[in-house]
Structure 1
Amino acid sequence: MNRQITQEETEQLFQFCRRHYVYHYDVQIELVDHLATAIEGQWEQNTKLSFDEGLKNSFKKFGIYGFSKIKSQKEKELRRKYNRLLWHFMLDFYRWPKVITTFVCTLGLFLLFQLIEQSRWIILGYLVLLTVGTMFYYFGIHIKTRLKIKPGKSFLLADQYNRASQAFVLVINLPNFCFHTFNLLDSHSIQNTWLLLGLSFFMVAFSVLLYGQLFYLPKKIKEHFIEQFAEFAL
């Protein structure tokens, strides 16, 4: 029977990963699996090979930057995965039946632009509302519902959660930026019907995107974390 990695040797592989600056537990799991498979593959060819020699040979295959490359690859995979989820979430609002709500909101905003002459103040009011709402989300909702992990381990998936739920940082600077921008514009320059229609579409789409970024995506990541690492969640 071919020799297999023991529980004690598995723990040594985790320690080996930590010594080589891989601190995220979910990345360590993947690396340990790669190393264990490689070592057991060597034992099939040479049963007398020691664990340390097998580990040394397996590590050589990763190269100097092998571990960091796998970490980077894992980060890219997570970003692509959750970017796709966010994109599909947003597209759902432009498919039946949610498209009705999206259409009504866009049309309502466009009619508001038609009724109010100073369109730029609608935009600034919208941005201020976004900022206030986002800050309320962070201090009133996010802090209470955030992903909580037992101390002692870090996770790449948890980092992804933090990036997804902290989009408010981008929003809080929008009103100040837009105020200075629109002060430079003539108020009549944004009365074009097609421009206002496009602006209405963009504002509604951005609202959907922000909602997905702040609520939908963190919720999904939290669910996936609990599915994979329930023993580490608080």
Structure 2
Amino acid sequence: MKLTDSQIEKLYNFTQKHYVEWYDVQTELVDHLANGIETQWQENPNTSFEDALKTEFKKFGVMGFGDVVEERTKALNKTYWRLIWKNFKGFFKLPKIILTLFLIWAYYTALSFSMQYHTNWVVIPTLTVLFGFPWYFWIKEFKRSRRLKKQTGKKWLFDNTISQLGGLVHVMNFAIYFQVFYQNKQVWPVSLSVIFSICAVLIGMLIYIAVYVVTPKLRNEMAQHNPEYNFV
């Protein structure tokens, strides 16, 4: 005995009423609930839809669907970071490692030249980009998510993960703290300049990979496996 379309719709409404706002998570839960209900009907065809649903929901425990949302969020972040790390490691193998070392050297040279004249024309733009670009990307993705919801009537946990770059968006905190530190350092020792150059280049590479490599890849896969997911 299979669930009808109206019963499937009731399952979606049920998950939404229990504080699951993300359509991709709702779909996963609806599939799980539907399979459980159909299994109950195989064992006892006289069980009502409502009673079978209550029985399946009790299996999720006191937290209800909360644990599922949390686990799904962690899984998406883990997948996102796994792809970032996979591409990031490629920049430390030939021939890309040559480009990586060159960028660090070029940045260090520009930074050292700036420090000789006690100017901040290298550091401040760097911190501005590291702080500002994640914000720009987050705002852009937030607007995109709103358009997508208006178009489809659905919100996606996937988009929420993308907008935060899998948590990489919190790199902006680095820029805030370093600005305070920088105000107390008029002249940098060579070791600090080297460390800052390495960090600036590597963080910039991580942001680039997340935005221009991993995000498009995951978005294409999402669209292929979910016909409801549309580009805006």
Counterpart-to-counterpart distance in 2, 1:95 and 1:78: 27
2:206 to 206, 209, 218: 209
Whether the 8 Å CA contact 2:130–2:171 is kept in 1: the answer is: no
- Tell me what 1:11 maps to: 9
Query: Cα offset for 1:180?
Result: 4.1
Counterpart-to-counterpart distance in 1, 2:129 and 2:107: 14
Query: Cα offset for 1:130?
Result: 5.0
Segments of structure 2 that go 5 or more residues without pairing to the other structure are none
Query: Cα offset for 1:164?
Result: 2.2
Counterpart-to-counterpart distance in 1, 2:20 and 2:179: 45
Range moving further from structure 2, 66-75 or 101-110: 101-110
Pairing of 1:66-85 with structure 2 (within 5 A): 66-85=64-83
1:49–1:107: structure 2 CA closer, same or farther, 3 Å change rule? same
Counterpart-to-counterpart distance in 2, 1:136 and 1:25: 25
**Matched residues, number:** 225
Give CA deviations for 1:191-233 in whole Å, capped at 9, x if unaligned: 33x4433332222111101212333343234223322334341
TM-score normalised to structure 2 length: 0.79
Give CA deviations for 1:71-97 in whole Å, capped at 9, x if unaligned: 111111111111111222222211222
Query: Cα offset for 1:21?
Result: 2.0
- Tell me what 2:58 maps to: 60
Query: Cα offset for 1:108?
Result: 2.3
Pairing of 1:187-202 with structure 2 (within 5 A): 187=187, 190-192=188-190, 194-202=191-199
Query: Cα offset for 1:101?
Result: 0.7
1:179–1:27: structure 2 CA closer, same or farther, 3 Å change rule? closer
Counterpart-to-counterpart distance in 2, 1:110 and 1:173: 19
Counterpart-to-counterpart distance in 2, 1:164 and 1:119: 35
1:25–1:130: structure 2 CA closer, same or farther, 3 Å change rule? closer
Give CA deviations for 1:162-194 in whole Å, capped at 9, x if unaligned: 2229967854993x754542231251xx233x4
Q: 2:201 is matched by which residue type in structure 1?
A: V
Segments of structure 1 that go 5 or more residues without pairing to the other structure are none
Whether the 8 Å CA contact 1:113–1:119 is kept in 2: the answer is: no
Give 3-state SS (helix, strand or coil) of 1:96's partner. Answer: coil
Counterpart-to-counterpart distance in 2, 1:227 and 1:79: 20
- Tell me what 2:36 maps to: 38
Counterpart-to-counterpart distance in 2, 1:74 and 1:168: 19
- Tell me what 2:228 maps to: 231
Whether the 8 Å CA contact 1:22–1:67 is kept in 2: the answer is: yes
Whether the 8 Å CA contact 2:76–2:161 is kept in 1: the answer is: yes
Give 3-state SS (helix, strand or coil) of 1:30's partner. Answer: helix
Give 3-state SS (helix, strand or coil) of 1:93's partner. Answer: helix
Which is greater in Rg? Answer: 1
Counterpart-to-counterpart distance in 2, 1:180 and 1:54: 59
1:202–1:38: structure 2 CA closer, same or farther, 3 Å change rule? same
Counterpart-to-counterpart distance in 2, 1:195 and 1:137: 29
Query: Cα offset for 1:68?
Result: 1.1
Whether the 8 Å CA contact 1:142–1:165 is kept in 2: the answer is: no
Give CA deviations for 1:47-90 in whole Å, capped at 9, x if unaligned: 22222221121111112312111111111111111111122222
Range moving further from structure 2, 100-109 or 164-173: 164-173
1:169–1:151: structure 2 CA closer, same or farther, 3 Å change rule? farther
1:166–1:96: structure 2 CA closer, same or farther, 3 Å change rule? same
Counterpart-to-counterpart distance in 2, 1:79 and 1:201: 25
1:72–1:97: structure 2 CA closer, same or farther, 3 Å change rule? same
